[in-house]
Amino acid sequence: MAGVSINLLPAQFRIDQKAQKKFQVVQAVSIFTLLTLILLASVTTAVRIVQNKELQGLKEEETQKEEQVLVYKEKEAALAILKNRLGLINQIVKSDSKSSRVIYKSVLTLMPPNIGISSVSLDRGGNFLTSILAPDSFTVDSLITSLTSEQGFTTISKIDLDNLSRSRDGSYRVNMRIGTQ
Protein backbone atom coordinates (compact mmCIF):
# COMPACT_ATOMS: atom_id res chain seq x y z
CA MET A 1 0.00 0.00 0.00
CA ALA A 2 2.42 2.41 -1.16
CA GLY A 3 -0.20 4.77 -2.54
CA VAL A 4 -2.26 5.26 0.60
CA SER A 5 -1.25 7.77 3.25
CA ILE A 6 -3.07 8.42 6.42
CA ASN A 7 -2.80 11.87 7.97
CA LEU A 8 -3.99 11.94 11.54
CA LEU A 9 -3.18 15.63 12.05
CA PRO A 10 -6.07 18.03 12.36
CA ALA A 11 -6.98 20.09 9.26
CA GLN A 12 -6.23 23.42 10.96
CA PHE A 13 -2.64 22.31 11.61
CA ARG A 14 -2.18 21.58 7.89
CA ILE A 15 -3.56 24.98 6.94
CA ASP A 16 -1.24 26.65 9.46
CA GLN A 17 1.75 24.73 8.03
CA LYS A 18 0.88 25.84 4.44
CA ALA A 19 0.50 29.45 5.59
CA GLN A 20 3.82 29.24 7.43
CA LYS A 21 5.56 27.84 4.33
CA LYS A 22 4.08 30.67 2.22
CA PHE A 23 5.28 33.19 4.82
CA GLN A 24 8.78 31.64 4.78
CA VAL A 25 8.87 31.83 0.95
CA VAL A 26 7.71 35.47 1.01
CA GLN A 27 10.25 36.21 3.76
CA ALA A 28 13.08 34.58 1.75
CA VAL A 29 12.12 36.54 -1.40
CA SER A 30 11.93 39.77 0.64
CA ILE A 31 15.35 39.16 2.21
CA PHE A 32 16.82 38.35 -1.22
CA THR A 33 15.29 41.55 -2.69
CA LEU A 34 16.51 43.62 0.25
CA LEU A 35 20.06 42.22 -0.05
CA THR A 36 20.02 42.88 -3.80
CA LEU A 37 18.91 46.48 -3.23
CA ILE A 38 21.63 46.97 -0.58
CA LEU A 39 24.22 45.53 -2.97
CA LEU A 40 23.07 47.80 -5.80
CA ALA A 41 23.06 50.86 -3.52
CA SER A 42 26.57 50.11 -2.28
CA VAL A 43 27.83 49.57 -5.83
CA THR A 44 26.19 52.83 -6.95
CA THR A 45 27.71 54.68 -3.98
CA ALA A 46 31.14 53.19 -4.70
CA VAL A 47 30.92 54.19 -8.36
CA ARG A 48 29.83 57.69 -7.38
CA ILE A 49 32.76 58.02 -4.94
CA VAL A 50 35.22 56.85 -7.60
CA GLN A 51 33.74 59.27 -10.15
CA ASN A 52 33.93 62.16 -7.66
CA LYS A 53 37.60 61.38 -6.99
CA GLU A 54 38.30 61.27 -10.72
CA LEU A 55 36.33 64.49 -11.24
CA GLN A 56 38.25 66.21 -8.44
CA GLY A 57 41.53 65.08 -10.02
CA LEU A 58 40.41 66.43 -13.39
CA LYS A 59 39.41 69.74 -11.82
CA GLU A 60 42.83 70.07 -10.19
CA GLU A 61 44.49 69.26 -13.50
CA GLU A 62 42.28 71.83 -15.24
CA THR A 63 43.29 74.47 -12.70
CA GLN A 64 46.97 73.70 -13.29
CA LYS A 65 46.51 73.91 -17.06
CA GLU A 66 44.64 77.22 -16.74
CA GLU A 67 47.52 78.64 -14.70
CA GLN A 68 49.97 77.52 -17.38
CA VAL A 69 47.79 79.09 -20.08
CA LEU A 70 47.61 82.37 -18.14
CA VAL A 71 51.41 82.51 -18.05
CA TYR A 72 51.49 82.01 -21.81
CA LYS A 73 48.68 84.53 -22.31
CA GLU A 74 50.71 87.26 -20.62
CA LYS A 75 53.70 86.38 -22.79
CA GLU A 76 51.48 86.41 -25.88
CA ALA A 77 50.14 89.86 -25.01
CA ALA A 78 53.66 91.20 -24.54
CA LEU A 79 54.74 89.64 -27.85
CA ALA A 80 51.72 91.11 -29.65
CA ILE A 81 52.58 94.57 -28.34
CA LEU A 82 56.19 94.15 -29.39
CA LYS A 83 55.11 92.90 -32.82
CA ASN A 84 52.84 95.92 -33.33
CA ARG A 85 55.60 98.30 -32.24
CA LEU A 86 58.15 96.62 -34.49
CA GLY A 87 55.70 96.77 -37.39
CA LEU A 88 55.15 100.48 -36.81
CA ILE A 89 58.87 101.14 -36.52
CA ASN A 90 59.45 99.10 -39.65
CA GLN A 91 56.78 101.05 -41.51
CA ILE A 92 58.25 104.36 -40.38
CA VAL A 93 61.74 103.25 -41.39
CA LYS A 94 60.46 102.10 -44.78
CA SER A 95 58.52 105.33 -45.34
CA ASP A 96 60.20 108.29 -46.92
CA SER A 97 62.36 109.71 -44.14
CA LYS A 98 62.78 113.02 -45.99
CA SER A 99 59.03 113.67 -45.90
CA SER A 100 59.01 112.80 -42.18
CA ARG A 101 61.80 115.28 -41.56
CA VAL A 102 60.02 117.93 -43.60
CA ILE A 103 56.79 117.58 -41.64
CA TYR A 104 58.67 117.53 -38.33
CA LYS A 105 60.59 120.69 -39.24
CA SER A 106 57.60 122.54 -40.63
CA VAL A 107 55.35 121.77 -37.65
CA LEU A 108 58.08 122.57 -35.13
CA THR A 109 58.92 125.87 -36.81
CA LEU A 110 55.24 126.85 -36.91
CA MET A 111 54.72 126.22 -33.19
CA PRO A 112 54.93 129.22 -30.88
CA PRO A 113 57.96 129.15 -28.54
CA ASN A 114 56.02 128.93 -25.26
CA ILE A 115 54.32 125.62 -26.16
CA GLY A 116 55.59 122.49 -24.44
CA ILE A 117 55.63 119.35 -26.57
CA SER A 118 54.72 116.22 -24.60
CA SER A 119 54.95 113.70 -27.43
CA VAL A 120 55.54 113.54 -31.15
CA SER A 121 54.98 110.49 -33.36
CA LEU A 122 53.95 109.34 -36.79
CA ASP A 123 51.05 106.94 -37.24
CA ARG A 124 50.77 104.25 -39.89
CA GLY A 125 49.08 106.58 -42.32
CA GLY A 126 51.99 109.04 -42.19
CA ASN A 127 50.08 111.50 -40.03
CA PHE A 128 51.99 113.56 -37.49
CA LEU A 129 50.59 113.01 -33.97
CA THR A 130 51.51 115.43 -31.24
CA SER A 131 50.48 116.20 -27.71
CA ILE A 132 51.25 119.71 -26.53
CA LEU A 133 50.87 121.79 -23.38
CA ALA A 134 50.02 125.49 -23.76
CA PRO A 135 50.00 127.99 -20.88
CA ASP A 136 46.88 129.82 -22.11
CA SER A 137 44.20 129.87 -24.80
CA PHE A 138 45.96 132.62 -26.78
CA THR A 139 48.92 130.31 -27.35
CA VAL A 140 46.60 127.55 -28.62
CA ASP A 141 44.91 130.09 -30.89
CA SER A 142 48.25 131.29 -32.28
CA LEU A 143 49.32 127.65 -32.88
CA ILE A 144 46.18 126.90 -34.89
CA THR A 145 46.52 130.18 -36.77
CA SER A 146 50.14 129.45 -37.71
CA LEU A 147 49.36 125.87 -38.73
CA THR A 148 46.47 127.01 -40.97
CA SER A 149 48.47 129.81 -42.58
CA GLU A 150 49.68 129.73 -46.18
CA GLN A 151 53.13 128.70 -45.01
CA GLY A 152 51.65 125.81 -43.03
CA PHE A 153 49.55 124.49 -45.89
CA THR A 154 52.61 124.00 -48.10
CA THR A 155 53.33 120.78 -46.17
CA ILE A 156 50.12 120.25 -44.14
CA SER A 157 46.94 118.97 -45.76
CA LYS A 158 44.68 118.60 -42.73
CA ILE A 159 44.59 119.23 -38.99
CA ASP A 160 42.42 117.24 -36.58
CA LEU A 161 42.10 118.23 -32.94
CA ASP A 162 41.61 114.90 -31.18
CA ASN A 163 41.44 116.35 -27.68
CA LEU A 164 41.43 119.80 -26.13
CA SER A 165 41.26 120.05 -22.36
CA ARG A 166 42.02 122.55 -19.65
CA SER A 167 43.74 121.50 -16.44
CA ARG A 168 43.21 122.94 -12.97
CA ASP A 169 46.25 125.17 -13.21
CA GLY A 170 44.79 126.86 -16.31
CA SER A 171 47.07 125.24 -18.89
CA TYR A 172 45.66 123.64 -22.03
CA ARG A 173 46.44 120.13 -23.28
CA VAL A 174 45.93 119.57 -26.99
CA ASN A 175 46.23 116.31 -28.93
CA MET A 176 46.35 116.85 -32.69
CA ARG A 177 46.71 114.81 -35.83
CA ILE A 178 48.34 116.65 -38.70
CA GLY A 179 48.10 115.15 -42.17
CA THR A 180 50.83 115.58 -44.75
CA GLN A 181 50.52 116.10 -48.45
3-state per-residue secondary structure call for 109-174: HHCCCCCEEEEEEECCCCCEEEEEEECCHHHHHHHHHHHCCCCHHHCEEEEEEEEEEECCCCCEEE
| Domain-wise residue ranges, the chain | 11-94, 96-180
Residues 6 or more apart from 124 whose CB is under 8 A from it?
88, 91
C-beta of residue 176 within 8 angstroms of C-beta of residue 162: yes
From the candidate CATH numbers 3.40.50.300, 3.40.50.1220, 3.30.1360.100, 3.40.50.11890, the one assigned to the domain spanning 96-180: 3.30.1360.100
What is the per-residue pLDDT for 97? 58
137 bridge partner residues: none
Q: What angle do CA 136, 138, 141 make, to 5 degrees?
A: 120
What's the pLDDT tens digit per position in 94-143? 665 566 677 777 777 888 888 888 888 877 677 788 888 888 888 888 88
Provide the pLDDT confidence category of residue 181 given band limits of 50, 70 and 90: low
Q: What angle do CA 118, 123, 125 make, to 5 degrees?
A: 150
State the Cα–Cα distance between residues 108 and 76, nearest whole angstrom.
38
